[in-house]
Structure 1
């Protein structure tokens, strides 16, 4: 049986950040990825937004790791030449009834350590985003966008420069624990059994299923898996906005919002649709619903310019009608199994928090 020091399962942005941090901390790391390329799941199907940390309950892992991760991410992108832009965003109250919710977001952000928000009224909004129709808006200067693929390539390069190996087309089918570590059953063209001192389950949408497939006491503590699909629509031509525009959040997500890519092209989404299993279908008939949502704050939208784009799926660990769950980083202190860390429910702001999550996991392994 082959052996390894640390095996990271999943080569999305979270797995790559964990591998990079672990390699930097002196561990010998092997990344195993089911697909034949990196970042083909959640990491390539999101808004590529660097979040400031406005929405998450104070003291939660989401709040702490988002704020820390945002700071780490801007510094890392600048150091490694990863394309990004600190473009800022506006969270808008499109009617008076939403003003209290906007103030609540501002208060929560302040408790999370985000102290640079500015509140604008209708007259001030008209000066710098004249196409926007809103009663009030919160400006978040720390929000930005990033080239997620460029980020993943930089993280992989850092990890590989310290000896990390990447095995693509290597799905983890199951496993168990014994007195010498965690034993993984690896499938693919060259099936093998692999014993590792540490295993980091960063399998994204498959993390819960994998947590149950590694047969040990920790498998009984795996949460329920739920999936929420979010559809994005692209916009042909140039939208008249220079910042990201977000409505008041809705259950399960942040509402249909406007994001910009690094070339300035606009896209709208995601919405929220609960599904039984990951499915990336984009239904063109959702155009009318998108147009209605967008016109709440951009009445002049030309709906004929909306085109079906792509879909992403969020790995939820709570179902419809329940409050969003915090990140779960389940290590030995929680489940009692040595050498095993499960990353559950790593949805937004996972991209923003990726470097902080990697540092957190490396600390657990080396503590």
Structure 2
């Protein structure tokens, strides 16, 4: 006998989405989260953009789940009253040398099923008068979302389906046992132990740490983690933009360039940049303004550096190091290691927020395929799908 049927470790947006979906399917679900509230890491330290699916290799998990997740997320937000706006995004080539790369992105997006509109320089100015560019792409399906409200809606739906979340609870050791797993750790400073049939590792930047605590799991099955910080600067005063504005990503970098995003109140912020780390660090040090201003002024000459002020930082859970090609999401099961019921997610960086509901569906489908339930609805079919 087990204490719980299913335990999800990690109450970020992906962990909550997975837990909500499984609870809606009839699973007895408990989420364990080491922090005092949900989404304290990547889920609340990002651009809050609903990505359309421009950048990712066609056929990859990132490409497929971004497109699927985008549509699921818009429907979820509308149904559950989560603040969001389909604001649109402008991707620009500032000089002629960038146009071939812009055309390649256009083709890449089309191969993943994402519609973009090609713009010449005059059309760019009509959309965003203060932007300087020789050509652009317009993405009408890109949007913004209140990530905190999204997580609150997922947690409320999880609880309505009978699931629960235990905060300030850290899993330190996982022992495979007959018919499942025994979890050991601390909760509110006190030791705990519980057992479960299914265990989902959705810990984001801490996924490798949890995997290292799984007894007898071969270390070579766990992809290496590369922590990558992205810092944001706010801009005081009125926003000059009505859409998101992205430059062309620089070659051989880990980010999408220092872009302009808007929050739901209409304030503009710029970022993130790229800085690989040895340990998690959310500080935004002084001295960033000049570098940010140079990057921004390439596409917005009117940027006034004295209006750039420190904002916040996030840390990406990357599987690729400096100069390496971008890595895809990794979703693992460990039947071959005698650990039936363990599913682990690694490298859930951007577009993880956009793909969260699609990632939840993917995990549910894999659970159904690998470990079909003997009664009741499956995790794949019980959840109400949106058109």
Q: TM-score band (shorter)?
A: over 0.9
Q: Which moved more, 1:91-100 or 1:185-194?
A: 185-194
- Determine the structure 2 residue equivalent to 1:137: 136
Q: Which moved more, 1:198-207 or 1:331-340?
A: 331-340
Compute the displacement of 1:186 (Å): 2.2
1:97-112 alignment runs, 5 A limit: 97-112=97-112
Compute the displacement of 1:219 (Å): 4.3
Distance, in Å, in 2 between the alignment partners of 1:335 and 1:343 is: 17
5+ residue gaps, structure 2: 370-387
- Determine the structure 2 residue equivalent to 1:157: 156
Contact 1:186/1:194 (8 A) holds in 2: no
Q: 1:336 to 1:107 in 2, by over 3 A?
A: farther
Is 1:285 aligned to residue 284 of structure 2? no
Distance, in Å, in 2 between the alignment partners of 1:232 and 1:169 is: 28
Distance, in Å, in 1 between the alignment partners of 2:341 and 2:236 is: 50
Distance, in Å, in 1 between the alignment partners of 2:117 and 2:74 is: 21
- Determine the structure 2 residue equivalent to 1:209: 209
Compute the displacement of 1:174 (Å): 1.4
Compute the displacement of 1:194 (Å): 1.3
* 3-state SS of 1:214 partner: coil
- Determine the structure 2 residue equivalent to 1:146: 145
- Determine the structure 2 residue equivalent to 1:256: 258
Distance, in Å, in 1 between the alignment partners of 2:125 and 2:359 is: 39
Q: TM-score, normalised by structure 2?
A: 0.92
Distance, in Å, in 2 between the alignment partners of 1:300 and 1:333 is: 57
Distance, in Å, in 1 between the alignment partners of 2:231 and 2:44 is: 13
5+ residue gaps, structure 1: none
- Determine the structure 2 residue equivalent to 1:325: 327
* 3-state SS of 1:187 partner: strand
- Determine the structure 2 residue equivalent to 1:348: 350
Contact 1:25/1:362 (8 A) holds in 2: no
1:6-85 alignment runs, 5 A limit: 6-85=6-85
Is 1:177 aligned to residue 176 of structure 2? yes
Q: 1:333 to 1:214 in 2, by over 3 A?
A: closer
- Determine the structure 2 residue equivalent to 1:267: 269
Contact 2:335/2:341 (8 A) holds in 1: no
Contact 1:119/1:139 (8 A) holds in 2: yes
Distance, in Å, in 2 between the alignment partners of 1:351 and 1:258 is: 18
Contact 1:218/1:337 (8 A) holds in 2: no
Q: 1:209 to 1:284 in 2, by over 3 A?
A: same
* 3-state SS of 2:3 partner: strand
Contact 1:218/1:336 (8 A) holds in 2: no
Contact 1:212/1:220 (8 A) holds in 2: no
Distance, in Å, in 2 between the alignment partners of 1:338 and 1:198 is: 8
Compute the displacement of 1:218 (Å): 5.1
Contact 2:2/2:197 (8 A) holds in 1: no
* 3-state SS of 1:31 partner: strand
* 3-state SS of 2:26 partner: coil
- Determine the structure 2 residue equivalent to 1:308: 310
Q: 1:218 to 1:161 in 2, by over 3 A?
A: farther
Q: Which moved more, 1:93-102 or 1:205-214?
A: 205-214
Compute the displacement of 1:336 (Å): 5.6
* 3-state SS of 2:144 partner: strand
Q: Which moved more, 1:148-157 or 1:181-190?
A: 181-190
Compute the displacement of 1:179 (Å): 1.9
The CA deviation string for residues 118-144 of structure 1, in whole angstroms up to 9 with x for no partner, is 111111112221100001110000000
Q: Which moved more, 1:189-198 or 1:288-297?
A: 189-198
Q: How many residues align?
A: 366
Q: TM-score, normalised by structure 1?
A: 0.97
Contact 2:49/2:354 (8 A) holds in 1: yes
Contact 1:213/1:219 (8 A) holds in 2: no
- Determine the structure 2 residue equivalent to 1:365: 367
Contact 2:55/2:109 (8 A) holds in 1: yes
The CA RMSD measured in Å over matched residues stands at 1.3
* 3-state SS of 1:160 partner: helix
* 3-state SS of 1:338 partner: strand
